[in-house]
Structure 1
Amino acid sequence: MDKTLRVAFGVCTTLLLLGKPNWIGAAEDGDSVSRDSGSAGEGGKDYPMFYVTTILEKPYVMAKGAELEGYCIDLLEKLSKMLHFKYKVGIVKDGRYGALSSGGNWSGMIGEIVRKEADLAVAPLTITSVREDVVDFTQPFLYTGIGILLEKDTSLEEASLFHFLTPFSKETWCGILVAYLFSSLCLFLAARMSPCEWDGNEETSFTLMNSLWFGVGAFTLQGTVPQPKSLSVRIISAIWWLFSIVLLTAYIAGFSFVLESGSEQVSIQTFEDLVKQGHLEFGTMESSSTLQYFKNSKNPIQQLVYESMNKKKDTAYVKSYQEAVQRVLDSNYAFIGESISQDLAVAQHCNLIRSPEVIGARGFGIATPKGSPWTNELSVAILKLGESGDLDYLKSKWWESSCSDEDHDKWSPLKPQALGGIFLFLALGLALGMVIAVIELSKKSRHTADQEKKSCCAVFTKELSQRFRPREGTPQESAGKSKP
């Protein structure tokens, strides 16, 4: 009987040892930085203990002496209080996120979860289908994509010959041209109809060419002739002058900003631009989900990105995020990685920039062993933190920019919507001027009709046809005078 009890006790002990996370061994291998939950010893003796693996990466997890801090540590602390568990955090032994080797073994944090060396992996760990086959993931606590991190001096285009057009967008320039032509036409028509600008024997001073030149003179703030006499033409002229002053002010302000801030256009806008250029070497982090994304992609451009990196894998790949940022700062290197981490680098280093294109939308989740009952509880807790605004608070806390007081706000060329008010004001002014010109001609027509005892409409029609009919009398008279 005693022998049977000893055998049973030995079997149970062996099973317990095999099932226990091998955390002590990880600490003995040199992981001196760790963190214990603050709830230990505070009435939580019956709380379950979780062994958490993570990786050092700003601002998710950072070493502060012998302690750890960062976004993921704060998130873990909130989750432990919500779900009532204790935890002990340690750094992953091989310093990797997790990739499947040719031998079928997993490295990094995923490997530690698979081998039961840790209960949770709380880090910027991307949720992928390959990883989901061997571990479970919670709901994402952060969303990101794949972007390109560049150094400003190596990524900005030189100013072009037409850099002076930068303050306004193409649509705005087209709108200004249309407004100029339409205003000149209204000026010409109003001058033709207004009796004050037309005496019947001579051409009005506001011919079509003079009207066009009048509009150009207003743009350059120069005095022009002829001078308007009638109320209708003066209204159209004043509205056009006001429109010109507002546009000049907006143009000068925008062009001054362009010159002072050096806001040239980023030459590498997309991954296609990155592949086509030849002066920048580019790469990503080895054994990362970003590398796997390009490796498995069917997109031709993304396949070219992977092939270009793989040809120079000895120099293209980096081992850590910190190494990647430093290479971008020190050499002609573009880093392809998580856009949200790149945003942090841009916030901390004012001479870095991220290209506009972001591909491969994905999320960061907490990894748990396959079939763990805690996966769903952690997911629900993460959703509650998102609904309460705690996740947004943590992001604003750890992504605070050091360039906010130094850098200018993001600038873009003025679009028609920004100047819509002045365009509307111009249209109303032109319409008012044309209405007054018609009223002026109507008054004269009515006066002439009373004197000649004719219909007002007939006189008005005659006046209009006389003003817009080509005048042939002057050439004929000149020809007649030339005869002996």
Structure 2
Amino acid sequence: MTIELLKELSHRLNFTYELIHPPDGKWGVASSDNIWNGMLGQLQRREVDLVAAPLIIDAHRETVADFTQPYFHEKSGIIIKKPVQSHSTKLVDPLNPMVYLCVGISLPVITFLLFLFEKYNPFYRQVAGRMKIRGLHHFSDAFWYMYGALLCQGGEHVAASSAGRTLLSCWWIFCIIIVTTYSGNFVAFLTVTKETLPFNDVEGLVAQTTYKWGTAGETVFETILKNSELPERRKLWNGILEFNQSDPSVLSSDPAEQIRKVRGGNYAFIGERTYLDMAIGQSCDMSIISTDDFHPLLIALPLPNNTPFLKVFSDEIVAIIETGLIQTWMLKTWPKPEHCEETSISDAKSISVSDFQFAFYLTGIGVMLAVLSLIYEYIERTCYRWVDTHGRRQNEQKKITAFKEI
């Protein structure tokens, strides 16, 4: 695309050109005494009048070159090899661990309440030898019934009291909500490609200890990291310097070498997003982590400092951009990014406790209603006994009165 732009500029501005390569084959970085190598060094020494290469605008580069109006906005990214996904946890992935904890706590608590409601309920006082009969008034039977409800099976014993039935009805609704949600999300986890990356940004990269990282040496990324005062960029650069002592290839200027290191595993390469997209290829063995806020990568043509042609070139570049020729050249000359055979879909989401709020609230409502039902049954049974006792006393008084009259 840059060469197409150069051809169009030469046609519009009526100039000829001769293409030459930098002797050292580098883009250009500065030494400690501000002597630049590569293409920018040629500009600094006035050996060339224009650099026709996709160079990124940077404040340090502007000390030796004047950049035209940018003609392309590039993004940066971090590419790593896809971590091997574990299949051993798929059975528990559909629900958040906190959900399993809350359900595990709810089961014995509700079981104990059901056991109390059934054992000490006055509703069963007329049943002779009840403790010798198996039922929900035994804790073990109550537990296995409640556990069976979680599996949508239930048990052979059924509550007869209003308090027990009220609690069980709410528990059954709770179990149905839990089971159906788990089943639906489990299907999603089996059919959706879940890709969990070890980090999601630059801060995560420098915080972990498993991956080494690097960038293409003699490029703008080295210039940015070397001269930045931002803490995370300083950590990035210090890490590269540390890794470079044992492995100089972390600053290799050959992007292909960097990609080979990425495919070797436990290595992250920081580079231009367009190249990274094309490097993934058909095998889909790598993933890109976007770093859009890392640094604005504006690509422009550099000219020597204080050149009188800067405005002329910038105006023509703006005119070319407005005609849409840049997009046309991109579609025509850029290689198409290859699509993975297995396209990664959005991650399946684990269901958290907040998603089950209503179900847990319903269980609490069931407990309160069961307590109210138990109180009602106590009152009803007490009133019945009072009426029955009062009626017997009246009958006895009538018999005594009748006997006296005789």
TM range (shorter): 0.5 to 0.7
Kindly state the Cα deviation for residue 242 of structure 1 after the two structures are TM-superposed: 0.9
Mapped partners of 1:227, 1:328: distance in 2: 62
User: What's the offset of the Cα at 1:367?
Assistant: 3.6
> How many positions carry a matched residue from both structures?
360
Residue pairs, 1:173-212, within 5 angstroms = 173-182=97-106, 185-186=109-110, 188-189=112-113, 199-201=123-125, 205=136
1:284 pairs with 2:249: no
1:150 corresponding residue in structure 2:
80
Q: Is 1:307 matched with 2:241? A: yes
Question: Which residue in the other structure is 1:135 paired with?
Answer: 65
Pick closer, same or farther for the CA change 1:443–1:415 going to 2, 3 Å. Answer: closer
Decide whether aligned partners of structure 1 residues 309 and 180 sit closer, same or farther in structure 2, where only a CA change above 3 A counts: closer
What amino acid does structure 2 have at the position aligned with 1:99?
A: V
Residues 228 and 436 of structure 1: is their aligned pair in 2 closer, same or farther, counting only changes over 3 Å?
same
* Matched-pair identity in %: 16
Distance 2:215 2:58 in 1: 17
Q: 2:366: which partner in 1? A: 433
Does residue 1:48 correspond to 2:13, yes or no? yes
* RMSD between aligned residues: 5.1
Give the structure 2 partner of residue 402 of structure 1: 338
What SS does structure 1 have at the residue aligned with 2:342?
coil
Q: After superposing the two structures, state which structure 1 stretch, 242-251 or 182-191, moved more.
A: 182-191
Structure 1: tracts of 5 or more residues without a match: 1-32, 52-87, 455-484
Report the 3-state secondary structure (helix = DSSP H, G, I; strand = E; otherwise coil) of the residue aligned with 1:142.
Answer: strand
Q: Check the 8 A contact 1:151/1:328 in 2, yes or no.
A: yes
If asked which structure has higher relative contact order (CA below 8 Å, sep 6+), I would say: 2
* Structure 2: distance between partners of 1:349 and 1:210: 56
Which amino acid counterpart does residue 426 of structure 1 have in structure 2?
Answer: A
- Name the residue aligned to 2:172: 238
2:99 is paired with a residue of what secondary structure?
Answer: helix
1:402-433 deviations in Å (ceiling 9; x for gaps): 3344233243551428x82xx14413543553
Aligned to 1:217: 148
Distance 1:438 1:382 in 2: 79
Alpha-carbon separation, structure 2, partners of 1:338 and 1:346: 13
Which blocks of at least 5 consecutive residues in structure 2 are unaligned? 388-406
Alignment of 1:63-462 (within 5 A): 93=22, 95-101=25-31, 104-111=34-41, 113-114=43-44, 115=46, 117-119=48-50, 121=52, 123=54, 125-137=55-67, 138=69, 141-145=72-76, 147=78, 149-152=79-82, 156=83, 159=86, 163=89, 167-168=93-94, 172-182=96-106, 185-186=109-110, 188-189=112-113, 199-201=123-125, 205=136, 213-224=144-155, 226-229=157-160, 230=162, 231-250=165-184, 252-253=186-187, 256=190, 266=198, 270-272=204-206, 276-277=209-210, 283-296=214-227, 299=231, 301-312=235-246, 314-329=248-263, 331=264, 334=267, 336-338=269-271, 340=273, 341-346=275-280, 349-354=283-288, 360-369=294-303, 370=305, 372-373=310-311, 377=315, 401-411=337-347, 414-416=350-352, 420=355, 423-427=356-360, 429-430=362-363, 433-434=366-367, 436-437=369-370, 440-441=373-374, 444=377, 447=380, 451=384
TM-score (normalizing by structure 2): 0.64
* Residues 191 and 309 of structure 1, relative CA distance in 2, 3 Å threshold: closer
Aligned partners of 1:120 and 1:367 also within 8 Å: yes
Structure 1 contact 187–206 (Cα < 8 Å) conserved: no
